[in-house]
Amino acid sequence: MGHSQADKAQTHERIVAIASRRLRERGLEGIGVADVMEEAGLTVGGFYKHFDSREALVVEALAASFGTWQAQIGAQATGGEKLTIEKLIGNYLSNDHRDNPGKGCAISALAADLARSSPTTRKQCTEQVQHNLDLVAGLLEIGDDASKRARAIFAFSVMVGAVSLARAVCDKALSDEILATAATRLKAMATEG
């Protein structure tokens, strides 16, 4: 075996991590093979030693985006203080999340793109949405399961919608207003029935 397998795996991960960030920053179409390889300190040709096609990278990078997002949430849940619904809402609807889509939730960053994407990526998206709904529902304390589920859907819709709007708008005051208003009202709602 030529170069060590560990090196290759590391390179592979580096490429995926870069693609995962750029995917969320620039959309499913906004990610170029040559660009990603250059940012990884490599040249184009080597790409196909790691992936069958650009599409394969997209699929892996999307999975990685979902994975790192869950890991971030998980880290908050275990690290010291417990994760609460208020914290999740505060995080999701923060200026920091709005300004750094590359590190944030892929669903709000790519919702429109995913709607027009291949069955494979839409499937990935569907699973992630279900996962996030379960996560939110699990953080709610009052009500039966059906009520929690319904409120989780409602809350997640607000989060995705408000972040999408806050990012699309080019008036900072309006953008801030959208996030702050959505966060305040959603927190109030979430702690009630």
Partner DNA sequence: TGTACATCAGTGAACGCGCGTTCACTGATGTAC
Residue ranges that bind DNA, judged by CB under 7 A = 1-5, 7-8, 11, 31-35, 37, 41-50, 53-55
Query: Which one of a second copy, DNA, none interacts with residue 75, CB within 5 to 8 A by kind?
Result: none
SS3 string, 48-69, reads HHCCCCHHHHHHHHHHHHHHHH
**Which of the listed partners (DNA, a second copy, none) does 64 bind, with a CB threshold of 5 to 8 Å by partner kind?**
none
CA–CA separation, 171 and 113 (whole Å): 23
d(CA 1, CA 191): 58
The residue among 37 and 135 lying less far from DNA, judged by its C-beta, is: 37
Other beta carbons within 10 angstroms of residue 149's beta carbon come to: 16
Residue 150 near a second copy by CB under 8 A: yes
Cβ of residue 60: shortest distance to DNA, in angstroms? 13
Q: DSSP string of 112-141?
A: HHHHTS-HHHHHHHHHHHHHHHHHHHHH--
CA 13/CA 153 separation, integer angstroms? 33
55 interacts with, out of a second copy, DNA, none, CB within 5 to 8 A per kind: DNA
Q: Which is nearer to DNA, 50 or 187 (CB)?
A: 50
Site string for a second copy, 69-108 (x = CB under 8 A): --------------------------------x-----xx
